[in-house]
Amino acid sequence: MSEIKITLPDGSVREYPSGITAHQVAQSISEGLARNIIAAKVNGQVVETSRPITTDANLTLLKWEDKEGKNTFWHSSAHLLAEALEALYPGVKFGIGPAIDNGFYYDIDFGDHKFTGDDFAKLEAKMLELAKKESAYIRKEVSKAEAIQYFTEKGDQYKIELLQDLNDGEITFYEQGNFTDLCRGPHLPNTGFIKAVKILNLAGAYWRGDEKNKQLTRIYGITFPKKSELDAHMLMLEEAKKRDHRILGKDLEIFAFDDDVGPGLPLWLPKGAAIIELLEGFAKKTEKEAGYQRVKSPHIAKESMYIKSGHLPYYKESMFPPMELDGINYYLKAMNCPHHHKIFAATPKSYRDLPVRYAEYGTCYRYEQTGELFGLMRVRSLQMNDAHIYCTKAQFEAEFKAVNELYLKYFKVFGIDKYVMRFSKHDPKKLGQKYINAPELWLETETMVREVLVNSGIPFIEVEDEAAFYGPKIDIQIWSAIGREFTLATNQVDFAQADRFDLYFINEKSEKERPLILHRAPLSTHERFIGFLLEHYAGKFPLWLNPDQVSILPISEKYQEYSEKVLNVLKKSDIRALIDDRSEKTGKKIRDAELKRVPLMLILGEKEQTDNTVTVRKQGGEDLGSMTIEAFVEYVNAEIEKQLN
């Protein structure tokens, strides 16, 4: 039997007989590893651990901790859910059942039966009963005729409809226990990996998203390899409800949506606008220190520019429809980069001018589908912390490293302790289709990015076929204080746009040379980042970022004049404060300030007025005692300095 070479993620190469499986490779490393792998990635494609490998391959063994591992785990759980439903409710028919970011769902036609929340416990118990049988997930290639015959005999018209879009040679069934499904896979080795099950909720879903079709019952669930992990997840969900940025944003008067304005178009209220100003001020100061120059670009542009950039026609579905003026189509700006390229080209550049770093908090407009809109996280109007760096190849490593260090600085300031960078690469088979057809440049730039990440000691994972069309990119995944994962921003390498826009600088040999371009947006958009911060802080923004830093609480109207004196001193010191002059008891004022997440409260009465002092109380109940107004100002400034450094 011929030998094949298997390259592992650490770069080591091992030789094995052709036809070896990922499970057997794992066994050759350690039995413990073999017990824990649930899928494998072979040359970028996720497959079962039992799939034979017959050629030289790059192999990644996937565990529960890996994103692709979770996806496989939850996809297999959707099949287990379907098996349990078929056992409990014979005759049910199945739509689709994919894995999603946190769990899975299956769309079900129950016929005359009405499935409700009262059925959840019974369904969970049946899934666990079936999981304990450790039934193998078995892949079987079938012809289109065989597949249609099977589902015709079963009476499942939804699967028959799905088969109409498939061809012979690309149809597979997966079987486990007494259940068979039409599926591409991959799946777990067996159902025994699933140890904990929770049915989360129900929703209505029109078949294939078309309201003209029948409405099916969508069952959402989540599973884990350990009961303790499910328990932790459910606690996180409870906490997440309290931290929902949509609810906090409304309660704290940060932002609003209005039907007359339109879906996905947030209105920033005064407190939200104050947070935006503070974030922008912080970013602009940081970028100025890092050598960025600020630029401004219009909100619309001619169609021809987006054709030149390559965004049209590929990105057209995500752009608002064009506006015609004097026979020319104009589009609302969906990205800042083409505008910045035009700014670069507006003046001659020498190698001595590079690197050039242009930054702009540019407003962009993207047409998200109505069903995909979600609070501030998915919107149609967004203000992006955008910048583009134009540099030589020799400067690339230093510039890319500096951008990554900027991310790390921001993570520290905002208390983001857990993060990972997803290094997204191209798929060579899709050159000229999904990606710019420049194989040597792809390999060169991907190698450059990998070396910077390795040399910087930054945690990262490599993913295939997720690059931008013009170059490799880094997607930054962060976790909030309660463990929820967010995609914050992206850092992209671009070796194509300089050609498209004829961008060049004059090098040391007095020749024209194309710059490399870096796209970066470390603070994402105001919308996504403030949505994240609302959850991350549970609405309790740090002192420097809170729109209301201090609430002045006079214990009666007799101290109104002294309160205004204190307010004026704070304003002159650029401290944001307000007076609660309502005719309420002090305890009520304190509770209301707590609910509004005001970081500091000043309680003013006879003693404070006489001594020209303030009594300070922190959000959460800590009493800082009495101090002079001047001392309080110093305290606030020291706290802000500490938070920003």
Tally the C-alpha atoms within 13 A of residue 395's C-alpha that lie toward its C-beta.
Answer: 17
User: Range with the lowest mean pLDDT among 141-150, 423-432, 531-540?
Assistant: 423-432
For 364-385, the pLDDT digits (tens) are: 999 998 878 899 999 999 999 9
- Mean pLDDT throughout 334-348? 97
For 161-202, the pLDDT digits (tens) are: 999 988 998 999 999 999 999 999 999 999 999 999 999 999
Q: Is the pLDDT of residue 1 over 80?
A: no
Residues 6+ apart with CB under 8 A from 589: 551, 553, 580, 582
Q: Could you tell me the pLDDT band of residue 118, with boundaries at 50, 70 and 90?
A: very high
- % residues pLDDT > 70 (the chain): 100
Q: Is the pLDDT of residue 431 over 90?
A: no
* Owner of token pair 């496989």: 72
**Which domains are delineated in the chain?**
3-63 (3.10.20.30), 68-229 (3.30.980.10), 251-536 (3.30.930.10), 550-644 (3.40.50.800)
Report field, pTM of the whole predicted structure over 0.85: no
Q: What are phi and psi of 553, to 5 degrees?
A: -120, 90
| 172 closest CA partner among 137, 141, 136 | 141
| 304 closest CA partner among 278, 292, 322, 285 | 322
pLDDT given at position 157: 94
For 481-538, the pLDDT digits (tens) are: 888 888 888 888 888 899 999 999 999 999 999 999 999 999 999 999 999 999 999 9
Which one-letter DSSP state was computed for residue 254?
A: -
Alpha-carbon distance of 141 to 520, in angstroms, equals: 44
pLDDT given at position 456: 83
pLDDT given at position 463: 85
- Mean pLDDT throughout 393-418? 92
For 205-224, the pLDDT digits (tens) are: 999 888 889 999 999 999 99
Residue 511: is it exposed, middle or buried by C-beta count within 10 angstroms (0-12/13-18/19+)?
exposed
Q: Is the pLDDT of residue 236 over 90?
A: no
| Cis amide prior to 348 (ω within 30 degrees) | no
| 195 closest CA partner among 83, 64, 99 | 64
